[in-house]
Structure 1
């Protein structure tokens, strides 16, 4: 399995993944034309047989803000860590672009918490973030959860090192973020 930038040949698969979840009310429908138009924003998870089994896009809103969107993993590949791999790829892409903060609008709060995001009040997001909402059937009664993550910190940690190695202390901003996550998770 590898994560790589999307290519033109991937557009049909990306569109299929997104619309599979759109039909189930989990994300917005995307036309094939729309996917082609934003293909440079996408990264895909490619299985060993070459099939595209996951996708994610990073959509820049402002100099310091971008959205993780269109995150989808084929149902027969759930539970293999692909979603987290795709989010990590999106974080790397945001860092490369110089974006300071990522946000997501999602129904999968627990997943994004595990990836290092924190739940926020939707009012913290600028109005321009809601530009796609006019296309959503739930626009007047949105039930998606707003989540945010600073990308200038390494919050997507690898598994702890083997016993006997010295463990590094977490930075103060990271400690504060973890504390907020625990409070949010309890409520």
Structure 2
């Protein structure tokens, strides 16, 4: 599969089922936490996807920028299909989110991740989850893993 046959664009409603299926596969493999359909539909505009240029075939990855509070935004739900990994698509998806964060005036972007080395390579640094109290009390408190979260909190200041 040639990478020039794909590009990054904002998600569309017809992408949500594929995004959900892909996230659930990654969640089953322990790479990320699952997301509900209702969450994906209500936050569809947050997502970028790797889409085929000719419009034929499914999307091959996604990443979302969630606006949290004041000057904080979150990169979440990063997923790249196995056959597209190692080609820079994950980096491009995160960069699209970071660019949007800057455009909107959000200069602190965090993530909760199992992929620490990947996010380190993009300039994110590990932080204590206590630095993200709004995230913990708005989202994390509803997670099945709370209060024993095993994800690593990371932050980049733009």
What TM-score do you get using the length of structure 1 for normalisation?
Answer: 0.75
Could you tell me which residue of structure 2 aligns to residue 85 of structure 1?
Answer: 92
1:43 is aligned to 48
Q: Secondary structure at the match of 1:92?
A: helix
Once structures 1 and 2 are overlaid, which stretch shifts more, 5-14 or 133-142? 133-142
Residue among 94, 99, 103 paired with 1:96: 103
106, 116, 128: which one aligns with 2:134? 128
Aligned residues: 150
Q: For the pair shown, which has the larger CA radius of gyration, 1 or 2?
A: 1
More displaced stretch, 130-139 vs 86-95: 130-139
Query: Deviation of residue 24 (structure 1)?
Result: 2.1
Contact 2:64/2:97 (<8 A) preserved:
yes
Q: Greater RCO between the two (CA within 8 Å, min separation 6)?
A: 2
In structure 1, distance between residues paired with 2:14 and 2:99: 23
Distance (Å, rounded) in 2 between the aligned partners of 1:138 and 1:147: 18
- Structure 2 length as normaliser, TM-score? 0.88
CA-atom RMSD in angstroms? 1.4
Q: Tell me, in whole angstroms, the C-alpha distance in 2 between the residues paired with 1:107 and 1:95.
A: 25
Distance 1:98 1:77, change over 3 A: same
Partners of 2:140 and 2:156 in 1: CA distance: 21
Larger relative strand fraction: 2
CA positional deviation for 1:122:
1.8
Gaps of 5+ in 2: 1-5
Q: Decide which of 104, 109, 113 is 2:116's aligned counterpart.
A: 109
1:50 shift after superposition: 4.2
Task: Give unmatched runs, 5+ long, in structure 1.
Answer: 152-187
| Residue 29 (structure 1) aligned to one of 10, 14, 34 | 34
